[in-house]
A and B are shown apart, each in its own frame.
Chain A
Amino acid sequence: MIEITNVSKTFGGNKKAVDNISLVIPDGEIVGFLGPNGAGKTTTLKMITGILECDSGSIKINGIDIAKEPIKAKKQFGFVPDNPDMFLRLKGIEYLNFMADVYEVAEEDRKPRIDNLAKRFGMVDALFDEIQSYSHGMRQKIVLMGALIHEPSVWILDEPMTGLDPKSSFILKEMMKEHVSQNKTLFFSTHVLEVAEKICSKVAIINKGKILFYGSIEDMRQHFKDDESLENMFLELVENEYDA
Chain B
Amino acid sequence: MNMMLKLTKVLLKTNIKLDKKTIGLGLIIALSMIPLMTIIWGIVWGAYDAMASIGQQGLILWLAVSMVSLITFIFGIFYIMGVFFYSNDIEILLPLPLKPWQILGAKFVTVLVYEYVTQLVFFLPVLAAYGIKEKANATYIVFGLIVYFILPIVPLVFASIINIFVMRSFRFVKNKDRMKTISGIVALIIAIGFNILIQSLTQSQNTPEDIMRFVEQGNNSILGKIQDIFVVNRFMTIALANYRDFIYSVGNMLLAIVGVGLFLVLFLYLGEKLYLKSVVGLTEASSRRAKTAKGNLYKRSSHLFAFIMKELKLLFRTPVYFLNCVLMNFLWPIFILIPIFTRGEVIGELRSAILHLNSPNALRFAVAGVASAAVFISGTNMISSTAISREGKNLYVSKYLPVDHKTIINAKVISGIFMGIVGIVVGITVVWILFSLPLYMALMALLISLPCAVFINYLGILLDLKFPKLNWDNEQKAVKQNLNGVLIMFISMALGFLNFLPILLLNLSFKETFFGLFAFYILADILIYKIVTHYGIRWFQQLQ
A residues in contact (CB < 8 Å) with B: 46, 49-53, 70-75, 79, 81, 83, 85-87, 89-91, 93-94, 97-98, 100-103, 105-107, 110-111, 114, 124-126, 128-130, 132-134
B286 with A101: CB separation less than 8 A: no
Shortest beta-carbon distance, B414 to chain A, in Å?
A: 16
B301 at the interface (CB under 8 A from A): yes
B289 with A126: CB separation less than 8 A: yes
In Å, the complex CA distance between A111 and B296 comes to: 11
Shortest beta-carbon distance, B293 to chain A, in Å?
A: 6
**7 pairs, CB–CB < 8 Å, chain A vs chain B:** A46-B396, A72-B402, A93-B297, A101-B301, A101-B305, A129-B290, A133-B285
Residues of A within 8 A of B399 (CB): 49-51
Closest to B397 in A: A86
Residue of B291, B302, B303, B310 touching A125 (CB-CB under 8 A): B291
A101 with B313: CB separation less than 8 A: no
A52 with B298: CB separation less than 8 A: no
In Å, the complex CA distance between A107 and B296 comes to: 10
Residues of B within 8 A of A81 (CB): 396-397, 400
CB-CB contacts of B253-294 with A at 8 A, as 1s and 0s? 000000000000000000000000000000111111111110
- Chain B's interface size range is 35 or more
Residues of A within 8 A of B91 (CB): none
Residues of B within 8 A of A75 (CB): 402
Residues of A within 8 A of B394 (CB): 85-87
A133 with B286: CB separation less than 8 A: yes
| Interface-central residue, A46, A101, A103, A132, by most chain B CB under 10 Å | A101
Residue of B289, B298, B313 touching A129 (CB-CB under 8 A): B289
CB-CB contacts of B399-413 with A at 8 A, as 1s and 0s? 111111000000000
A71 with B318: CB separation less than 8 A: no
Instruction: For the complex of A and B, list the 5 residue pairs with the smallest distance between their C-beta atoms, beginning with the closest.
Output: A74-B402, A101-B306, A133-B287, A110-B298, A129-B287
In Å, the complex CA distance between A74 and B396 comes to: 13
Report if A128-B403 is in contact (Cβ < 8 Å); known contacts: A46-B396, A93-B293: no
A90 with B400: CB separation less than 8 A: no
Residue of A51, A97, A133 touching B298 (CB-CB under 8 A): A97
Residues of A within 8 A of B313 (CB): 89-90, 94
B403 with A133: CB separation less than 8 A: no
B306 with A102: CB separation less than 8 A: yes
Report if A130-B285 is in contact (Cβ < 8 Å); known contacts: A52-B544, A102-B303, A102-B306: yes
Residues of B within 8 A of A134 (CB): 287
B314 at the interface (CB under 8 A from A): yes
Residue of B287, B397, B403 touching A71 (CB-CB under 8 A): B403
B396 with A51: CB separation less than 8 A: yes
Closest to A48 in B: B400
In Å, the complex CA distance between A132 and B180 comes to: 15
In Å, the complex CA distance between A49 and B442 comes to: 50
In Å, the complex CA distance between A103 and B399 comes to: 14
In Å, the complex CA distance between A105 and B476 comes to: 35
A89 with B297: CB separation less than 8 A: no
Residues of B within 8 A of A98 (CB): 306, 309-310
Shortest beta-carbon distance, B325 to chain A, in Å?
A: 14
